C-alpha cells in the first residue's frame, strides 16, 4: 500500500533483495493496482529459490529467483527501477548497504519488530 501511495503501480524491473520465499512478488503480481514488467527475487540462501519459483509460477518469465549476496550485486549495471529490501532486520549496517546503490535509486525498505530473535 505504501509503495502504491508513493510511486504508483507501474514498474519495469524490480529487484527484491533478501527476498526469501518470494511472497512480496506474488502479492504484487496478484494486485491489480500494479503493472510490473519483471521481478527478480534475490537471496543468499539457495534453498529458498525453488519455493519462490513455485509461489510465483503463474508469473512465468516475469519472475526470476536468483541466489546472490545483496552486498555483491552490481546495482548500477542492473539498473532496476525499484529496489526492495525485505530483510532490513538482517542487515548489520543498513546505511552501508544503501551506499552501494546509485544516487537517485528508488528504494523500498521492509523490516519487522521481532526483537527477541537474536539474529535481527
Ligand atoms: C527471514 S527473511 C526476512 C523476513 C521479513 N523481513 C519479515 O519481516 O518476515 C530474511 C532473508 O534474508 C536473506 N539474507 C540475509 N542476508 C542476505 C544477504 N547478504 N544477501 C541476500 N539475502 C540475504 C536470508 O537468506 C533470508 O532468506
Average pLDDT (84-94) is 93
Domain ranges of the chain: 1-71+102-113
Pocket test for ligand 1, best of 20, 108, 118 (most atoms within 8 A of CB): 20
Span 15-30, pLDDT tens digits: 999 999 999 999 999 9
Distance in angstroms (rounded) separating the CA atoms of residues 56 and 23: 8
Q: Which residues pair with 11 in a beta bridge?
A: 36
Q: Above pLDDT 90, what percent of the chain?
A: 91
Residue 108 has pLDDT above 90, yes or no: yes
Ligand 1 atom 25, closest CA: 45
Q: Which atom of ligand 1 is nearest to the CA of 112?
A: 8
Distance 20 CA to ligand 1 centre (A): 6
**CA 4 from centroid of its chain's CA atoms:** 15
CATH of domain 1-71+102-113: 3.40.50.150
What pLDDT digit, counting tens, does each position of 39-86 carry?
Answer: 999 999 999 999 999 999 999 999 999 999 999 999 999 999 999 999
- Reduced to 3 states (helix: H, G, I; strand: E, B; else coil), residue 12 is strand
**What's the rounded Cα separation, in Å, for the pair 33 and 23?**
17
Mean pLDDT of 2-27: 97
- Residues near ligand 1 with C-beta < 6 Å? 17-18, 20, 43-45, 48, 69-71, 86-87, 89-90, 110, 112
Amino acid at each position: 500500500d505504501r509503495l502504491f501511495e508513493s510511486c504508483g503501480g507501474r514498474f519495469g524491473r524490480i529487484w527484491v533483495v533478501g527476498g526469501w520465499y518470494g511472497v512480496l512478488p506474488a502479492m504484487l503480481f496478484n494486485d491489480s493496482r500494479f503493472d510490473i514488467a519483471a521481478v527478480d527475487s534475490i537471496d543468499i540462501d539457495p534453498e529458498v529459490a525453488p519455493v519462490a519459483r513455485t509461489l510465483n509460477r503463474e508469473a512465468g518469465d516475469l519472475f526470476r529467483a536468483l541466489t546472490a549476496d545483496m552486498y555483491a550485486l552490481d546495482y548500477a549495471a542492473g539498473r532496476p527501477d525499484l529496489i526492495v529490501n525485505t530483510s532490513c532486520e538482517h542487515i548489520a549496517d543498513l546505511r552501508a548497504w544503501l551506499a552501494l546503490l546509485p544516487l537517485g535509486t528508488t528504494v523500498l525498505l521492509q523490516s519487522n519488530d521481532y526483537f527477541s530473535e537474536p539474529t535481527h
